[in-house]
Amino acid sequence: MRRKDREMPLDFAKKVIDESSYGTLALYDQERDRTYGVSLSIVRIGNRLYFHSAKAGYKLSLLKEGRQYGLSFVSYAKVPQAFSQDQLRALAQDPKKVALFLSRVFTTEFYSAHVFGKLYQVTDPLEIKEAMEALCKKYTGDKMEFFPLALEAGLPRMNVYGIEIQEIYGKRKKLDSQGQELKWQREEN
């Protein structure tokens, strides 16, 4: 990671994954010499990520069991509001303050996690049930009374995949209430 001052601990990265609406899986199409990023509903159980898919499609043509893939997650993104319009006008009058525009105005705060892991197709019925139940709790938790019916109806039409996490990194850019970046895992007092 180039910006070590923004690196966060493992627990932070896991929390980002758990709170993200989706994760983006990076794939490469060798025949067409192009990349393909696909956003997926993903759940983490321990050191594994799970997602499901249809039994056919472009994504599946690119997935290879046993290969390592990269995924990225963002659980928070916001343009900071560290200065009022009047403060911005005053800063704009001082050429020495232009760097503030780049670092604290024309920027985005974010929480992100990046994962590298080995893909496998889940075939064990108990692991499939556990993964799908966790996915459903994350995304449709208020409808869990219907989960057994949905699982039974959906299983013949889906594949379930796991990614064994091998590397995981958390990164954050966040400003404190004074407009200073919280670097080196510093928290607001």
SS3 of the chain: the string is CCCHHHEECHHHHHHHHHHCCCEEEEEEECCCCEEEEEEECCEEECCEEEEEEECCCHHHHHCCCCCEEEEEEEEEEECCCCCCHHHHHHHHCCHHHHHHHHHHHCCCEEEEEEEEEEEEECCCHHHHHHHHHHHHHHHHHHHHHHHHHHHHHHHHHEEEEEEEEEEEEEEEECECCCCCECCCCCCCC
The span from the CA of 55 to the CA of 52, in Å, is 9
- pLDDT tens per residue, range 138-179: 999 999 999 999 999 999 999 999 999 999 999 999 988 887
pTM: 0.90
- For 110-137, what is each residue's pLDDT tens digit? 999 999 999 999 999 999 999 999 999 9
Q: Provide the CATH topology of domain 4-79+110-171.
A: Pnp Oxidase; Chain A (2.30.110)
Q: Which residues of 149-163 are buried (b: 16+ CB within 10 A; e: fewer)?
A: eeeeeeeeeebbbbb
Residue 101 pLDDT > 80: no
Angle at 139 between CA 115 and CA 40, to 5 degrees: 40
Return the residue matching tokens 């407009």.
179
Take residue 3 and report the two structure tokens written for it.
């910006």
- pLDDT tens for residues 55-98? 999 999 999 999 999 999 999 999 988 788 898 888 888 888 77
Closest by CA position to 159, among listed 122, 131, 106? 122
